[in-house]
Amino acid sequence: MRSVVGIVQARLTSSRLPNKVLKSVCGRTILEHVVSRAKLSKKIDTVLVAIPDTSGNDALATFCHDKHFEFIRGSETNVLARYLEAAESVDAKTIVRITADCPLIDPAVIDDCIDLFDKSKVDYAANTVPPEKSHWPDGSDVEVFTLASLKRAHQMQLSLKELEHVTHQFWQRQDFSSVQLDRTEDASGYRFTLDHIEDLYVIKHIFEHIERNNILGTVDQVVEFLSKNPEIRAFNSKFKFGAGW
C-alpha cells in the first residue's frame, strides 16, 4: 500500500499557454522537472500524473508512457473526480496535490507540509492558500489532504470552480479543518509559476542559475536569485498572486 501519493495534475489544453507542461527548459520538459523534484520528497511514497482523457491530451499520455511516468487519465473539467480516481487506483491514504505549472517545487516544502498535516490532525494543509495569508512565492504550492476528505467533497454539491480547482472547499468551507504552513520571511511577492510566456522566461533564467551553481533550487535559493536580479523578477511581475484561485 502506497499511503502518501503525490498527484501531479497536468494537461496540454491550457488557454493561457497551450502545451506549457511540455515546454523545454535546460534540456527537460516542465513536467519532467516537476515529477523529478517531487520524487525527491522523503515523505511521498509514489508520484502519479493525472491527465485528462480527451483526445487533445493524447500526446501527453504518450509522453508519460515513454518517460515511464506512472499516470492515469480522467475527466478534464471535473478535476476533483480525476484526483479521486487517481488516488483510489493506488490505494492512497494521504494525497499531496502538485500542479504541473510549478517546475520549481521544493521537496523540503513538500515534506514540511506533510509533517504539518500529520501533526495537526486536520483534513487539509497547504502553504500558498488562502492566498491572502500566504508568505510563500507563487509557484511553491503544496497541498495535502486525506482520501477520506476527498471522498466527502466528491459527495457534496460543489460549484464548477470547486470541481476544477479540487481543493477550494477544504479551505473555504467550514465543513473541513485546515492549517497553513507559514514562513518567517514574507516571499509572497515572488513568482515562478508557469501560466504565461513571460513566466517561462523567468523560469529558464532560474534553472540556468541552478545548473551553473550546481544547487537544488530551494525556495530560499530561488528567492535570493530573483532578489539579486530585479530585472528578471520584474519580467512577470504584472501577474498577480492567486489569480487562478
pLDDT in tens, 16-63: 999 999 999 999 999 999 999 999 999 999 999 999 999 999 999 999
> Could you give the percent of the chain with pLDDT greater than 70?
97
SS3 180: strand
Question: What pLDDT was estimated at residue 234?
Answer: 95
Kindly give, in sequence order, each residue whose CB lies less than 8 Å from that of residue 52, ignoring residues fewer than 6 positions away: 11, 13, 73, 74, 75, 76, 82
Amino acid, res. 240: K
Helix 197-213 vs helix 219-228: crossing angle, to nearest 10 = 110
What average pLDDT score do residues 171-193 get?
Answer: 95
For residue 137, what is the enclosing H or E element? Answer: none
pLDDT tens digits, residue range 167-180?
999 998 899 999 99
pLDDT tens digits, residue range 85-138?
999 999 999 999 999 999 999 999 999 999 999 999 999 999 999 999 999 999
Q: How far apart are CA 216 and CA 221, in angstroms?
A: 8
8 Å CB contact between 141 and 126: yes
8 Å CB contact between 113 and 76: no
Question: What pLDDT was estimated at residue 114?
Answer: 98
Question: What pLDDT was estimated at residue 243?
Answer: 46
Question: What pLDDT was estimated at residue 148?
Answer: 96
8 Å CB contact between 92 and 147: yes
DSSP secondary-structure letter at 147? Answer: H
* DSSP letters spanning 36-73: HHHTT-SS-SEEEEEEE-SGGGHHHHHHHHHTT--EEE
What average pLDDT score do residues 195-209 get?
Answer: 97
Query: Can you list the domains of the chain with their CATH numbers?
Result: 4-236 (3.90.550.10)
Dihedral of alpha carbons 44, 23, 239, 218, sign: positive
Question: What pLDDT was estimated at residue 159?
Answer: 87
Q: How far apart are CA 59 and CA 116, in angstroms?
A: 37
Global pTM reads 0.95
Q: Assign 241 a pLDDT band (cuts: 50, 70, 90).
A: low
Helix 58-66 vs helix 30-38: crossing angle, to nearest 10 = 50
Question: What pLDDT was estimated at residue 143?
Answer: 98
C-alpha cell, 201 = 522566461
SS3 34: helix
pLDDT tens digits, residue range 140-153?
999 999 999 999 99
pLDDT averaged over the chain?
95
Q: Assign 216 a pLDDT band (cuts: 50, 70, 90).
A: very high
C-alpha cell, 13 = 489544453
